[in-house]
Amino acid sequence: MGYDRFYFLKKAYGIYPGVTAPVSARCLTAHYARRQTKRGPLRAGLDALVGLAFKAWIPWRATKVQKTFGLDDAWRTRAVEIARARFADPNDLALFRITDPGQLDDYIRRYEDAALNKRINPLGWTARCVLADKARFQVRCQAASLPTPRTVAIVRDGRVELKADPAGRDLVLKPADGEGGDGVVVLEKVKDAADLTARLPKGRGVFVVQDRLLPHPSLLGLALDALPTVRIVTMVDEVGAPEAVSATFRFASVAGARVDNMKAGGLICAVDLPIGTLGLACKGYGGGDHAVHPVTGATIIGRRLPDWPAAKGLVRRAHAEAFSDYALIGWDVALTPDGPVLIEGNGKPGVLMPQRAARQGLGGGRYGALLAYHLAMKP
């Protein structure tokens, strides 16, 4: 519970990137110039104190990261130098493979992402956010005739509301407000409604029970026991139309894993947006690179995702027709034998995964351009 609270606290608070003058990605220069003119003396003083504390924290952080990643003393010395000069977290330097300060010109710092997201996607930070509730997300998708896994049951505080016959199916149980694959349970070979009810949680909370989807046959060498998904981020462009601005493929690295998420040790790789080919894979939180799957030996780099134009079309349509009240959405899409299927949407998709997978910052592409555009539109 303590870890969860710290995790959400980090996402809820974004610090100012500097002591007096901001040091961030080039795409955010105008945004921070506006912020500087609007800050009162108390806020400016607080930002300066936090900034000084951040700089003092950097050497300790670099030492910890060095041990975690097994890096040498030369890396730590260089990381402290870069982090202090460019106001960066040494952990991000390791994750994003930063070796030259100039690389940070296009990287959006993770610690500032929450504050930026709050400004352009305020609905995502309220109790009314349907993207944070899998049950309400499903209802909105169904109203717009968007493909999603069939919902078999909704469980509210132990009370089961059946939506479809579960007999003879493999099902997936998910906490309605879960993140990162937490709490996901696979219910194999459900016999009937009574069997399903007996296997469902009895405590408080809301859960969604859905059909377990199978991956497209062309992905079997990467799927293992977990359904792989592709995270496609869409952002509303300058004329009000959703545009795909980044894509990252996620898949299990070990047999027996039930989810593909980074927190479960999954692999990630960037997807070439125009044609849907995969880049070099890596784990989200460290480890080596993989051109082939470490378990199956299946080729990763250069592999083309199936139904890629349809997947991009699906998320653009979903954003435009059913979720236009959000400026930015990270979609988790399953590529199945029946075509792309929406698993969920995220109003706070984050910047770690796409920047680590692509080995380049989001600020240098359309993500950065549209982020700057939306920030400029905010008073």
206-251 per-position pLDDT tens digit: 898 999 999 999 998 998 888 999 999 999 999 999 999 999 999 9
**Per DSSP, what are the bridge partners of residue 187?**
171
Quick one: average pLDDT of 56-73? 96
Contact call for residues 363 and 26 (beta carbons, < 8 A)? yes
Of 94 and 3, the structure prediction assigns the larger pLDDT to: 94
Nearest to 284 by CA among 314, 308, 251, 255: 251
pLDDT value for 158: 81
Distance CA 166, CA 312 (A): 31
pLDDT value for 361: 96
pLDDT value for 285: 85
Pairing of strands 169-175, 185-190: antiparallel
Which stretch, 156-170, 199-213, 353-367, has highest mean pLDDT? Answer: 353-367
Phi and psi at residue 216, to the nearest 5°: -55, 140
Least confident of 7-11, 51-55, 135-139, 272-276: 7-11
pLDDT value for 6: 44
Reported pTM: 0.93
Could you give the angle at the alpha carbon of 132 between the alpha carbons of 94 and 160, nearest 5°? 130
Contact call for residues 48 and 151 (beta carbons, < 8 A)? no
Whether the pLDDT of residue 3 is over 60: the answer is no
Tens of pLDDT, residue by residue over 17-42, are 999 899 999 999 999 999 888 889 99
Distance of CA 75 to the CA centre of its chain: 28
**For residue 169, what pLDDT band results from cuts at 50, 70 and 90?**
confident
Looking at every residue in the chain, the average pLDDT score rounds to: 90
Distance CA 281, CA 356 (A): 10
Tens of pLDDT, residue by residue over 321-343, are 999 999 999 999 999 999 999 99
Q: Which amino acid, residue 301?
A: I
How distant, in Å, are the alpha carbons of 76, 188, 210, 321 from that of 94? 10, 39, 38, 39
**Residue 121 DSSP SS3:** coil
Domains of the chain: 2-120 (no CATH), 150-211 (no CATH), 214-348 (3.30.470)
